[in-house]
Amino acid sequence: MKGIWKRLAALTLVLALVAGLAACTGGDNSSSGSSSQGGSSSSEGSAADSSTASTPDDGEKQTSFKIFAGVSELSPDNSEKPIVQQMNEAKGVTIEWNCVSGDTLTEKKNLMLNAGSDSMPDAFMAAQLKDAEIMTCGTRGLFIPLEDYINEETMPNLMSVLEVRPDALAACTMPDGHIYTLPNFGEMGFEYKDGNTYEIGSIPQFTCINTKWLKAVNKEMPKTIDELHDVLVEFKNQDVNGNGDPNDEIPLSFIFPWDNGAWCANMTTLWAPFGCTDYNEDHRAIKDGKVYYQAASEEYKNALAYFHGWFEEGLIDIEVFSQDSSQYIAKGNGEDARLGTFVWWEIPEVVGYDRAEDYAYLPVLDGPDGTHHVNLNQTSTVSRDQFAVTSACKDPKTLLNWVDQMYDPMISMQCNYGPIGVFFDETPDEKGVYNTIELKEGETEGELKSKSELLGPTRQLTEDYGKYFYMEARAQQRLDDLRDFWFNYVDSTESYPNVVYTEERASHWLRDGGIEAEWDQYLKDLDSMGLQDVVGAWQSAYDRYAEALK
């Protein structure tokens, strides 16, 4: 099995076609793109109460740490956040933050990882670490093993979570047996009519269409992909927003590919007419108990070839390959309606509450053969990409004792959403449970959360809802939408219980075309690099899982 993973890593590192998978090589390796680093800042706390902070074995206590952190585009620096200041004061430490947002996060992270130990921060937090990066940086000694620090003395709050979720650490254990990253718990699901619970990310991309524009061009809600094509042509050719400019309408916009932050804004729900919805970042899917690689399937090829035609016709926003989420949302929130069709996990966050009434969900469309197929996304309630400690850290115990506070249910609540008095009401209700604060006019929960949250390893357990805080109204709405609308188009609820190199190829094929001529060589390249061994490993893991359920 280790040989499989070595070949898997070789795929990502040798081809270097996915941004970030060539990281962690150390030494003097160069990286393309800007070499500038994000600004750093400090957030200081009182040293008065540091009794619970641990000290390193040599007796020297480190009280100042450097953390490279991902934040949302709307977020202030982490040093300005009240919950961070509270955590610092409780442990008597100072954090020097290097906070990065948007599509520069991967680039700047890779510059650090490629530079090796000489320029390492003490930790990476919410830096969107990929499995290949975790494995490679761990085995090269850039990330340190954490299993010996996960104990009652150093991380009591995490240990409390592990008492009720004892299998969580298995999800963070790498093939070499070490744990290099902390678990992040995110439970949010709904019970379907089959009696099973499905997570909120099972279908991550909701396609939305402007119904006001549909009426303006005398079209019904599309039911097939070709009908949608004809609608988008009308959106492009007419001044459907009525502002006198016939050229400012965008028939279809989304964010592509994954590295641009497209988890909920990619276009692959629109691929269902061709037999797949490529939601999984590793392009892994399962059908009739058989695991396969979607990016080597005829369905994938046919979808990209078809939508390349749309791109040439000017039906697809030319900025889909470059825009980040803030730029994307700005298009929907401008003075005039510009988006005919877009993809997101809800409507109001992109176009605002007032304009949201002009939009509706676009059904999953049928293809030329009159069918569609939805592959449910691979979901997990435990992720492993939120926090890693580097070899530069002289006192991992103190740092991990500091971050352990994020597993406290009340602190975690405020990290996930925002502080009491900012995102939540100042006082809880009669049950001791916190409600979301009343929003300002024109403000959305998503916007407020993005401005207030502290991204990192937290707990969000099913039993926390209604005990500490109530689920966001928009999250509950999303679960309702999944159950009542989107799952009506799901004919198989199979999903896999993360490697290869296709993102830049996919962008090239969508924008420039050529997939038909290059496809056979592409498949040969994948096979020569060991794709079948990787798929075989996926299949074996799934077979063991399925057998255990019998």
Interval 321-373: pLDDT, tens = 999 888 999 999 999 999 999 999 999 999 998 999 999 999 999 999 999 99
Strands (E), 268-386: 284-287, 290-293, 339-344, 359-361, 382-383
Determine contact, residues 472/355, Cβ cutoff 8 Å: no
- CB atoms closer than 10 angstroms to residue 368: 12
Cα–Cα distance for residue pair 8/529, rounded to 1 Å: 8
- CB atoms closer than 10 angstroms to residue 191: 11
Every domain range in the chain assigned CATH 3.40.190.10: 2-185+382-408, 206-375+494-549
Residue with tokens 């298009």: 331
What would the mean pLDDT of 286-294 be, rounded to a whole number? 85
Residue with tokens 């996990």: 345
Q: Per-residue pLDDT for 212 more than 60?
A: yes
82 or 326, greater pLDDT: 82
> Is 2-185+382-408 CATH 3.40.190.10?
yes
Kindly report whether the peptide bond that precedes residue 257 is cis, defined as omega within 30 degrees of 0: yes
Cα–Cα distance for residue pair 349/330, rounded to 1 Å: 10
According to the model, what pLDDT value does residue 329 have?
92
According to the model, what pLDDT value does residue 390 have?
97
Low-confidence winner among 44-48, 83-87, 148-152 (lowest mean pLDDT): 44-48
State which H helix or E strand residue 398 sits in: helix 396-403
Of 146, 149, 139, which is closest to residue 181 (Cα–Cα)? 146
**CA 531 to the chain's CA centroid:** 24
Q: Return the DSSP state at 79.
A: G
Cα–Cα distance for residue pair 493/474, rounded to 1 Å: 24
125 or 510, greater pLDDT: 125
Q: Return the DSSP state at 152.
A: T
Q: Per-residue pLDDT for 192 more than 90?
A: yes
Cα–Cα distance for residue pair 342/394, rounded to 1 Å: 47
Cα–Cα distance for residue pair 79/77, rounded to 1 Å: 5
Which tokens in the block code for residue 324?
């980040």
pLDDT tens-digit profile of 143-159? 999 999 999 999 999 99
State which H helix or E strand residue 40 sits in: strand 40-44
> Is 206-375+494-549 CATH 3.40.190.10?
yes
Which tokens in the block code for residue 309?
């035609």
3-state secondary structure of 351: helix
